[in-house]
């Protein structure tokens, strides 16, 4: 398992068909490589952590381990998620400082596992999408629609997430 680095799903077995887990956020169909996914769980009780950024929804207790959960909607579009019956937490393995750490990702709905050949993957366009270009790794064409392949490493960037609200405010103050 350790041989696979997040954010580079096709690096080991190029020219092959890879499996992707698709999910929906903000009505957009998104996907991540299935090997990055550790588990999918339902939304249970979540503990909010004070003074953290809005995109950090809180922490959950996963079999005794504390797992932080990122609100993907908030992270990508700065809109807090509204929990529904279909809301799920996708647990992913993220490499943080040479160490794999499990992180949770709150999505609106998990769809399915698709097999997309490498040839159908394209570079992300410079503009034309609803979300920040830096979060997009690639665009996959599946039948007649496009699926955004998320850049997990960017989404779970420690530098971004470890900032506290105070720091954020300070930074904003400094800017002004």
Instruction: Give the residues lining the site for other proteins (CB under 8 A).
Output: 1, 19, 21, 34-35, 37-42, 85-86, 88, 110, 112-113
Question: Which tokens belong to 29?
Answer: 């169909």
Closest by CA to 108, choosing from 20, 175, 171, 28, is 28
Q: Which is nearer to other proteins, 117 or 125 (CB)?
A: 117
Beta carbon of residue 155, minimum distance to other proteins (angstroms, whole number): 18
Q: Which is nearer to other proteins, 10 or 157 (CB)?
A: 10
Q: Which is nearer to other proteins, 66 or 113 (CB)?
A: 113
Q: How many residues does the chain have?
A: 176
Q: Which is nearer to other proteins, 4 or 161 (CB)?
A: 4
Closest by CA to 37, choosing from 75, 60, 7, is 7
Beta carbon of residue 169, minimum distance to other proteins (angstroms, whole number): 39
Instruction: Say if CB 132 and CB 26 are below 8 A apart.
Output: no
Beta carbon of residue 175, minimum distance to other proteins (angstroms, whole number): 42
Q: Which is nearer to other proteins, 86 or 165 (CB)?
A: 86
Beta carbon of residue 40, minimum distance to other proteins (angstroms, whole number): 5
Provide the pairing of β-strand 99-107 with 65-71. parallel
Distance separating the N- and C-terminal Cα atoms of the chain: 46
How far is 136 from 150, CA to CA, in rounded Å? 5
Beta carbon of residue 167, minimum distance to other proteins (angstroms, whole number): 35
């Amino acid at each position: 398992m350790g041989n696979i680095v997040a954010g580079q799903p096709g690096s080991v077995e190029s020219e092959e068909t890879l499996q992707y887990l698709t999910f929906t956020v903000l009505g957009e169909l998104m996907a991540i490589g299935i090997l990055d996914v550790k588990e999918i769980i339902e939304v249970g009780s979540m503990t909010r952590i004070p003074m953290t950024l809005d995109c950090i929804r809180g922490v959950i207790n996963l079999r005794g381990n504390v797992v932080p959960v990122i609100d993907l909607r908030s992270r990508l579009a700065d809109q807090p998620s509204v929990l529904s019956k279909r809301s799920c937490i996708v647990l992913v393995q993220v490499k943080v400082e040479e160490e794999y750490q499990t992180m949770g990702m709150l999505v609106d709905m998990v769809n399915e596992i698709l097999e997309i050949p490498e040839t159908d993957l394209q570079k992300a366009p410079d503009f034309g999408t609803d979300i920040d270009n830096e979060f997009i790794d690639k665009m996959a064409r599946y039948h007649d629609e496009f699926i955004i392949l998320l850049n997990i490493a960017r989404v779970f960037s420690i530098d971004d997430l470890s900032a506290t609200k105070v720091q954020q405010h300070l930074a904003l103050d400094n800017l002004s």
